[in-house]
Structure formats: structure tokens, C-alpha cells
Structure 1
Amino acid sequence: MNVKVAVASKEIRVLRNIHGREFLEIDHPAVQARISLEGAHIVSCVPAGEEPLLWMSPIDPEEPGKPLRGGVPICWPWFAGERPGPAHGIARTSQWVLTDTYSAPHLLRLLLELPEDTIRKQLPGEAWRLQAEFELGQSLSINLITTNLSDKPQVLSQALHSYLPVHSIHSTQLWGLEGASYVDQVTGVASNTQHGAVTFTGEVDRIYYDHRSPIQLEGAEDQRVIVARDGSQSVVVWNPWIDKSTRLSQFPDDGYLGMVCIEAANAGPDARILEPGETHTLSTEIKRI
């Protein structure tokens, strides 16, 4: 059940769910989508005539104040536990505002911003501007735009934690990472080389470095998806598999069978140092082929 809050435009409505969390509900000729204003977190994107581009946990109650399981969480200004504070930073549990929209017959573009006073309160001594631009149509593009507003250099680590649906993880293959080096977060081995396609027979949690090329997901029923990135030389590939699925919050025990994460990132040695006034954009595009 949704409770109507306001109308942003004919194609964009602001709705509040039964728990009080607000979403942008998008109904456009080219795409239907849903974005939580808390976290600027897109949880659904369905191009006209296509299957969903994103996976969202069917048991997530979508309560306010809690990170959502699925879609594309925004990890910023640090990834995982790289700094003290909440895992993956402050952006995914902070309230954002819609600042601009653009509509054309084949796409809809939205710009959201994390208020500067929200950033200052949670990150004392730091000064940033953070915007998230969503371009929705036959593909999904996200640009995470960060500007250093301080008078000193600031360190930035981040990720667009994209959950993608698959028909079966057992038949899923990822191409485009052949020859890439990665850290295996499961085994703790820091130096590995990818040979052939990435396949899944157990838990996978890897950070690939010095990599810029698109990644192609291939699966059952002729599923093919391309994930491209810009402003990123690191990419995270993750599937929790059986045991971890039972320990994750808001995640079905068998959820690992139908999803995989391919995350555009600036993680580890790919963290960026932004000079005063400098802007960095981390981008990802997800599309079926």
C-alpha cells in the first residue's frame, strides 16, 4: 500500500509506503522505475517491453532508516569498512532531494542531491557536493558526481553496488574480466588472475583492479546484459551463495540463485584524492543486448 505525498510531474510521483519511506514512482512511456529518496537508491528499472534490469529482495520491508537489499545502493564517500563509521558510508541512509528532471520521448533524466548541511553534520571537517544523475530508458545510467568544496585535498572511495537479476546463478557467466587481477575477499588471497569467464560454484566476493572494459553477463534463456563503467578502474563481483544468504538481513535463503552484483567502484588502490574544487564522476550503464 502506498500513500500519495506529492506530484513532482505527470510522469513522477512522490509516494510514501506504509512504513513512511518516500519513493519517486516513475511511469514514463519508455520506462517504469522506483527510487528511494533515502539513499537516492534506485530499486526498480523496467524498460518498456523488457524484463527488469535490477534485482530487489522480495522480503525487504523497505523501512526508513535501514539500507535496502537490492537495486543500486550508493556507497559513499567510502567503500565497505575503509573508514570508521557505517559500512559503505553515509549516502545510502541519508535523505536526498530531487533537484531537476528532463523528459524526452525515449528517456527520463533525474538529478538528486545530498544536502551539504547533511554531509557537514555527518562528516565534520569535510566539505563535499554530491549529486546522483539517473538516465532511464532502454538502459539505466547512473552518474555519481562528487565535488571537493574544501580548501584541502580529500580522499574519496565509493561504489554503485548494482544488483542484477539472473535466471540461474549456476548457468551465469561474466565475460570481459579475463586476465584481470583481483583480491579474493573470501579466501583472503590478495593476488589472483582471472582465467576465462567468471562462473559461480560458491561464494564470490572479489575486487578487480586496473580494469576499465565493459563486462558482459550471459545466462540461461539467452540472457545477455552489458555493464559499462567510467571514472572507475575497480569493479566488485559478489554473490553470497548458500551459507551467507541465510545470515544476510532482508535476503531470502535462496536469494543467491537469482542475483549477482557487478559494481562500478573506486575501491582500495583505486580510491581518488580530489584537490580543492575538483569534481569526479563515477558512472555505470546497465543494458540488455
Structure 2
Amino acid sequence: MADSVRVSESNGLTFLHVENPLASAKISLFGGHILSYIPKSDGQERLWLSPHAFLNGERPIRGGIPVCWPWFSDDHGKQKGELPSHGFLRTQVWQLTSSIEDENGTHLILTPSFSRAEGFEYDCEVTLKVSVGEHLTVNLSTENKGVVPFTFNCALHTYFHVDDIHNTELKGISGQYKDKTQNWALEDTPSPYTFSQQTDRIHLSAVKQTDVVVNGKTFTKVISNGNDSLVVWNPWQEAASISDMDPFGYKHMICVETSMTGGHDLAPGQVHELIQQVIPV
């Protein structure tokens, strides 16, 4: 194991702590879930983790970067609640299969215990590659190891920390989106893109760069690749009804999710990579 990686255990979960000259990070092996990323350039946390998040394996972790795969939300073809929302990778234990470090940071490879379960019974290999350095790079790779094609969706459901959602703006998003709060009505992206109410949108273009602007200054750049869409979510006052979220937690987070929501076909032998870079500014 790389010298910059330390392992700890708490409440039955195993955590990886990364500390190198460029940044620090914390990763839960339950869910292959990145919980924290703090660049040394300014020492400011880029991810938001709910203070009420379940860190004992009882349920998915609220905050950080949940891994959604092989479907997004409840788009699994069955009745809502019949299969786990956002798939089954975020509720299983992953393994650290590789860790190396160089002048660019610490590079980890994690693999889930299994990638075949009810709702997705195909032969494939999933890996999560995480690089912690001047910026954070997360690569969710899916390889079809079988003899038949399959279709899947996925997302890196990142919760970004902001000082105040009322003073937060997103830049770089254009085109139309589907609005879940309005029965999936098709709407045009607002400009300026600010927040004053519950937001749950699937932007239908493959947005490549989104700037998270806080108090008039760009705080974080989000670079997306391998995506067909971008999801933006903030529960607003509905946070009070979410058991693992503080009623006012919505004020300090915004989800900008690099996502594949339109159904991606993967032929035997093909590999798809969904990549998100979190770049401090």
C-alpha cells in the first residue's frame, strides 16, 4: 500500500485516509464512497457530507460522491422500491486493489464485491479509479466481459460544499432539462443559474464543464467526460423530511452529477468510462 494511504475502522466500516503534499481525502470502502477532498492549495473542503449520514453500513451514505450503477434513480424497469434506488454498488463493500503515488498525487483502484445482481444479470467488470492530487479525478469504468450486449446507466452523484446556496450560481450549463419537481416537464436552463427552491433536474446535454460560483467567485470547476447528461439537485426545505439530513443542510450543498441517464449500450469487450474531475480554483 502507498505510504500516503492509511486505513482505519469504525462502526464496522473500513476507511482509507489519503494524505500527500497536494491534498487529503477520505474514502469509505462501504459503497466505494469518497467522503472528503481537501486540496492543500487552500485547505477548503470541496465535498459536503451530511452530519447525520449513516456511517455504519445500515444504508447508503448521504453526501460525498455516491456511485450510482447500473441504473440511475428508480429507472430499473420494475416498480419503485422493488429494487434499490441508484443501483446496488453504493451498498456493498469494495476492495482496494491498487494504490500507488507519484509527483501528481495518490492513485487508487477499487473494485466492488460483485457487479451482477437482480435487475442486472450480465457479466461485466466495474472499477473505480481515484486520483487525489491538485485536483480529484474519479473514473467509473464498466467493461462488458460477456458475450451479449447490455444497456446501463450510471452517475457520480457528487455533493459539493458551498458556503450558502442562496449565494451560489452554476455556470457552463445550457440547453433543456427535465424537471422532476414539475412531473418531468421540459424546461430551458435558467440564466443566471441560481437557487431559490427545490431543484431536481436532468440536463439533457453532455455538459463538459460546470463552474460552482460562490459569493461571486468560482470555487470549484467540475469537468465531466463519458456522460450524456448532468443532474443538478438540492432538496431545499424538503431536507427536513430526509432522515439522514439536517433540516438546514440544503443551505451548504449542491449536487452536480456527472451522469449517464439515457441508456448506454455496451457491446462485448467494450469499456465505458464515466469521469469527473473536481478542480479547486
Shorter chain as normaliser: what TM range? over 0.9
Q: Match of 2:70?
A: 77
- Contact kept? 2:143, 2:271, Cα under 8 Å: yes
Q: TM-score, normalised by structure 2?
A: 0.93
Quote the sequence identity (%): 31
> Counterpart of 1:80 in structure 2: which amino acid?
S
SS at match of 1:246: helix
Instruction: Provide the rounded CA distance (Å) in 2 between the counterparts of 1:189 and 1:215.
Output: 22
Whether 1:40 aligns to 2:32 is yes
Which of 253, 263, 285 in structure 1 is aligned with 2:277?
285
Measured on the aligned residues, the alpha-carbon RMSD in Å equals 1.5
Unaligned runs of 5+ in 2: none
Whether 1:260 aligns to 2:276 is no
User: 1:124/1:238 Cα in 2 relative to 1: closer, same or farther (>3 Å)?
Assistant: closer
Q: Match of 1:3?
A: none
Q: CA deviation at 1:222?
A: 3.1
Q: Match of 1:135?
A: 131
> Counterpart of 2:178 in structure 1: which amino acid?
V
> Counterpart of 1:119 in structure 2: which amino acid?
S
Which of 242, 245, 249 in structure 2 is aligned with 1:248?
242
1:44-103 CA distance string (max 9 Å, x none): 111114201111112224111410010000000000000141000011011111111220
Q: CA deviation at 1:213?
A: 2.9
Instruction: Provide the rounded CA distance (Å) in 2 between the counterparts of 1:64 and 1:182.
Output: 34
- Contact kept? 2:24, 2:37, Cα under 8 Å: yes
> Counterpart of 2:96 in structure 1: which amino acid?
L
Which of 21, 38, 49 in structure 1 is aligned with 2:13?
21
Instruction: Provide the rounded CA distance (Å) in 2 between the counterparts of 1:219 and 1:98.
Output: 35
- Contact kept? 1:90, 1:122, Cα under 8 Å: no
Q: Match of 2:163?
A: 167
- Contact kept? 1:177, 1:197, Cα under 8 Å: no
1:182-213 CA distance string (max 9 Å, x none): 00010114311113121111000000012333
Q: CA deviation at 1:165?
A: 0.6
Q: Match of 1:155?
A: 151
- Contact kept? 2:70, 2:120, Cα under 8 Å: no
Q: Match of 2:112?
A: 114
Whether 1:63 aligns to 2:56 is yes
Q: Which runs of 4+ in 1 moved over 4 A?
A: 121-124
Q: CA deviation at 1:150?
A: 1.7
> Counterpart of 1:77 in structure 2: which amino acid?
P
- Contact kept? 1:30, 1:105, Cα under 8 Å: no
Q: TM-score, normalised by structure 1?
A: 0.91
Unaligned runs of 5+ in 1: 1-7
Instruction: Provide the rounded CA distance (Å) in 1 between the counterparts of 2:196 and 2:91.
Output: 33
Q: Match of 1:205?
A: 200
Q: Match of 2:232?
A: 237
**Bigger shift: 98-107 or 148-157?**
98-107
Whether 1:90 aligns to 2:88 is yes
> Counterpart of 1:125 in structure 2: which amino acid?
E
SS at match of 1:91: coil
| Number of residue-to-residue matches in the alignment | 275
Instruction: Provide the rounded CA distance (Å) in 1 between the counterparts of 2:104 and 2:130.
Output: 14
Whether 1:52 aligns to 2:52 is no
> Counterpart of 1:72 in structure 2: which amino acid?
I
